[in-house]
Chains A and B, each alone.
Chain A
Amino acid sequence: MNGEGILPQEGAIIILRDIAKSYWRETLEIPVLHGIDLEIPRGGYYALMGPSGSGKTTLLNLIAGIDRPTGGTLQVCGFELNDLDDDELAGWRNQFVGFIFQNYNLVPVLNAFENVELPLLLSGLSRRERREKVEHALELVNLTDRMLNYPRQLSGGQEQRVAVARAIVTDPELLVADEPTGALDSKNAEEVLQLMERLNQDLGKTIVIVTHDPKAAHHARHQIHLEKGLLDKTIEVNR
């Protein structure tokens, strides 16, 4: 799988080799990432940082398998993503990746329970099994009492916690989050960050987040800095 001949680090869950990505605007090629090599170990908590346009969100999208690189290979959760077609990739995301978005992206017509249940609808689970998993996930984010509320009846922090529950309900190995605290005030942001830290430490989830927020980045154990589409430096966070 590692065509470049470089041996992966023991237990690496994400292995990027010479990843490049460009966008086209009409006939103009806009390069975003140039040859990125990166390995993230299982159970890691990494923050991708960098100024606007440095390519951090693009890198996250590639890792999460919602975008494809223009060059290079990437292996995530044991799968060579370039080898999967769109449908296989969708199934892979459902099984291995949990998403947390800046704007929560809950479905407004579904209540908290139904929103969390959404990814499970794709599984062959029975209604009762789904219910158990959803309740368990909501318990983890401490929102059992808000189960029947609709998104508009929840605060921003609660909405994001529902989104976290939706991300973990399928028990994925990898959680990706794009500015998860971007829309929250500091108190709610802190709550969500602590929750994610717990998921990393207690459940061993590998987490990759993109953030501007130094506080959020501080919760991660490693910070990867990008600059103009290139890896700048990786810093281990000391606590």
Chain B
Amino acid sequence: MAILLLVLAPFLAYLLWLVWALLAYPIPISYNLRSLWQRKVTTLTTAAAIAMVVGIFVVVLSLAQGLSVAFVSSGREDQALVLRPNARFELNSAIERDRIRILQVHPLLARDAQGPICSAEVVVVKLFPMADGSDSNVTIRGLEARGLAMRPQIRLLEGRWFRPGLSEVVVPRKMQGRFSGLELGRSIRMGGRAWEIVGVFEAGGSSFESEIFSDVNDVMQAFKRNSYSSLLARLDSAERLPEFTRAVDEDKRLKLEAVGERAYFKELTKAGDPIRVLGNLITFILTTAAVFAAMNTMFAAVASRTKEIGTLRAIGFRQREILASFQWEAIILCGAGGSLGSVLALFANGIQTGTTSFDTFSDVSFAFTITPELMLQGVAFSLVMGLLGGFLPAWRASRIPLTEAMKG
């Protein structure tokens, strides 16, 4: 952190100086704007190229963020998930009924009028036909009514929740577009029986929006499972979490493992890693290319204005003012491109897509969400490109000898 600050310090100092220079000795910004307009074609093409790079940057960012949101917003600080040791994921886990019974009355669980707050659940995957004709694995979660209440981000949009014993399911709104035949009132076949879709829900972008919910006992019967997958447990407070995980881990009767719900989902975000790694790499390379392009344009601008610079110097402007002026011109050029790019990225907003977690072999849906924050990041990113790409040309402009400039 300290090293990072040390590296950034000259950068920030330069930035502050630039702002001060703008206010203190103004070569008016309108001069830069007119100069940019003078070379319309160059300015527009460079800005357009930067717009595309920033557009890609914002989309990649939103992708990575969409994935993180899907998982991180799924967990609560004061809840724990109990699994079989080393299972790592609910899908791999199995817990026998007798152990669930011990857990359900665990003294550390939070309680309300209906008793301890926990939900024994089962997770299976099933191949479903997608809207595009291919198949994808979908997670089916069987849970207790309590389990719904324990996930406050879940909201019913249409119909009603499933009732136990009737083979009813509720599906997430997000999946309806990507998979076929998930409309309210229709039925789906799994485990040798028909399940009626009685409700549609949303879950605030969390990973539950990639799961179909039903009653835990119905699912276990249909899929011939005699063990649960996991137990979701609410604790009195987030501070009790370490105590609970230790208690479960050390309980010789249980031979189970507890993890914080939030930590569990954080582990799952790894599903997005290939996309993230690739996205970062692409952004990095493209940025280099864009900085080169901006530099090129600015060098040309400086070269074609040698005489003007000479005149400015002759009038009495100093080298540093010339430097600041050209640096600002580069920043304006890139900033304009960056703003355009951020706006263009909005076209990707709301597009639903999905990927599969290779740990759980099941589908994760998420949406490209272009938030104002991301767009601002895109613009900031383009300003940094302007700073990097403009510095050398501006430096050269400020170093042109007066005599040389006047020769024209």
Q: Do chains A and B touch in the complex (CB under 8 A)?
A: no
